[in-house]
Amino acid sequence: MAAAIFAGIALFFSFQGSSVPLSSSEDRLVDSLLTLMTVEEKIGQMTLFTTDWEATGPTIREGYREDIRQGRCGALFNSHTAAFTRELQRLAVEESRLKIPLLFGYDVIHGYKTIFPIPLAEAASWDLEAIERSARVAATEAAAAGLHWTFAPMVDLTRDPRWGRVMEGAGEDTWWACRVAEARVRGFQGKGLGHTDAVAACVKHYAAYGAPTAGREYGTVDMSERFFREYYLPPYAAAVRAGAATVMTAFNDYDGVPATGNRYLLTDVLRRELGFTGFVVTDYTAINELVPHGVARNEQEAGELALHAGVDMDMQGAVFQQYLKASLEAGRVSMAQIDTAVRRILKLKYRLGLFEDPYKFCDPEREKRLILSAEHRAAARDMARKSIVLLKNEGQVLPLSRTARLAVIGPLADNKDELIGSWSAAGSGSDCVSLLEGLRATSRGVLGHAKGCELEGNDRRGFAEAIALAKKADVVVVAVGEAAYMSGEAASRTQLSLPGEQEALVEALAATGRPLVVVLMNGRPLAIPNVVERAAAVVEAWWLGTEAGNALADVLFGDYNPSGKLPMTFPRSVGQVPIFYNEKNTGRPFDPNSKWTSKYLDAPNSPLFPFGFGLSYTSFEYSLPTTSALTFRAGDTLRVSAQVRNTGDRAGTEVVQLYVRDQVGSVTRPVRELKGIQRIHLQPGESRTVTFTLTETDLRFYRRDMSFGSEPGAFDLWICSHSAHGQPVRVELQ
């Protein structure tokens, strides 16, 4: 009621001879509010603070309550549940002077309470519809819990698995990262902001955050403008085109200027080139960190630098709250800059419908009905099955027989808390299905479980029990990998092997002679050649979320034929990192017969598993590709086709991939570039002609003079199963 009365008053003011153009009710309300607000209240809208969570439930620091009452805080993050957000919203709309509603944000990365696979795992599904549905479920639950805003999707391109946050993105390929970014924005924002099953998306981390030197979190980023624009910028641009409401600045620098104070990134590129119209929020205390970065002498100067660059909201650092008024009075920032930032923030609140009804997302009955619903868990199970990648299956040990005697071993076999992964929002391990539970629910053949060892440490005292159990079994299933904290923010690693004694456990189990199925649970590509060599089968399960155990049982017993493919290259050793499929050829490309070529003395150039790789319980045969023409021009559509045949005895889904290579350019070009994928389902013996379309626009790049366009010449095209597979056909762009 209070907010509705306030809205009416604000609209009244907007008609009293104001020179502000009355273009829409949104503009009228926002501009009238600006005429009523004090400087402190405006800066309050630009201030984002956190709430906390204790054993007894959600809490807020008392000083922040008073900030809300006084209009010194316009948004909160980590505030969730319908009851808690209602309580906080009441402070804003019933006890503050202008009664402007709060905006509530949270890191809903791969689910709110029903946890889906980590984003890197979802990218391995190559199923955009399922990825969008995952974000849709996350948004539905988050909005039911009182949230308006998620700090997702993370669209940072990443080629270095030492960096822990690879788990939050779509992997190493730009084209695929763009498609995933678009799908996740659509999923979060649904049919439009203001619907009670939609939340505002926040694209992060802008920009180039996924390329820190040495893979170390918060590290310096150093790349050419050409490299940035061709590979790292497009996913952010795709998310903006998809309608993302907000953008988050990155912690790193770009071209020597930290992103949070980088006007080139935030204004010249983001707003003027990409056309972004929403608001920009910093990452946690990123303005404060401009001081240790060495580009500001103190926090007041840092706040001025951030505002001039294009930052609208300060997350947690309180720099704007403490210093921006003084900077205004000193003439170092302008009221117009502050008004522009506040206008952007208020417009999002308007579009969410918060001025009409500030409590519209605070419905405990809707929350109870939707959170962890059967429908949502079914969607999580489907997504998890599609995310699993079969990396090895020697002797057809998989799928398992339901009559086989199974030994279930490993520190992650009967674990729940780690399976929901890092950045698991309000998810709880107690709601997760473990691998052991999933196997027992599917088969009576489980003989028992032995941990064998912990995830970390050098204790092998559990080996004897595990080996004894393995010797009684027909097949041994061992679940190994990372703890959730080992991947994610501030989780860079210099080694990509299995931590602790897990690799030794795998070797000991392999020595029993029993067929060994290794189930990997991790947030990044691992360098584990010895494990792969000793196992009969290797299944990349990532962190699959709430329905992990059920999804794994579906795949391991063959109720679901695995179809996942790797969105990142798996190295043989950390010494190959960074390693990615679309590298340049160099002037001395690899030649096994010549030392004086680009190679290692102690290891092959090739990865353990290439980008796009994944097996099935059936097999697929590809014909050589054909094209509708051997030459084409701008404006033409070139059709590229190949026949794919299921040569096995099971129905299966194959992810068919299209790659191109520009043979000669004004600048060096990659050996392959992904340009399209199609998921097809084939019955045993069934064949299908798969056709892709290419135009001249698909072959554009940043040329020697930094203009964006194509160049005439020869191009090789592949239709194949992964990035190291297939024979090309050559065409000519005239």
Q: Which residues are identified as catalytic? A: 283
Residue 124 makes CB contacts below 8 A (sequence gap 6+) with 387, 388, 389, 540, 542, 564, 565, 566, 567, 614
Paired sense of beta strands 446-450 and 406-409, if any? parallel
Burial of 145 (0-12, 13-18, 19+ CB in 10 A): buried
* Integer Cα distance of 130 and 717 in angstroms: 28
* Integer Cα distance of 326 and 328 in angstroms: 5
Paired sense of beta strands 729-733 and 631-632, if any? parallel
* Whole-number CA gyration radius for the chain: 27
Half-sphere exposure of 647 (CA within 13 A, CB side): 7
* Integer Cα distance of 486 and 721 in angstroms: 31
Contact 21, 298 (CB under 8 A): no
Which candidate, 577, 559, 507, 517, places its Cα nearest to that of 541?
A: 517
Contact 615, 562 (CB under 8 A): yes
Contact 383, 126 (CB under 8 A): no
Q: How far is CA 417 from the centre of its chain?
A: 20
* Integer Cα distance of 390 and 540 in angstroms: 6
C-beta atoms surrounding 194 within 10 Å: 14
Q: How far is CA 25 from CA 14, 212, 339, 518, 725, in A?
A: 10, 44, 18, 59, 57
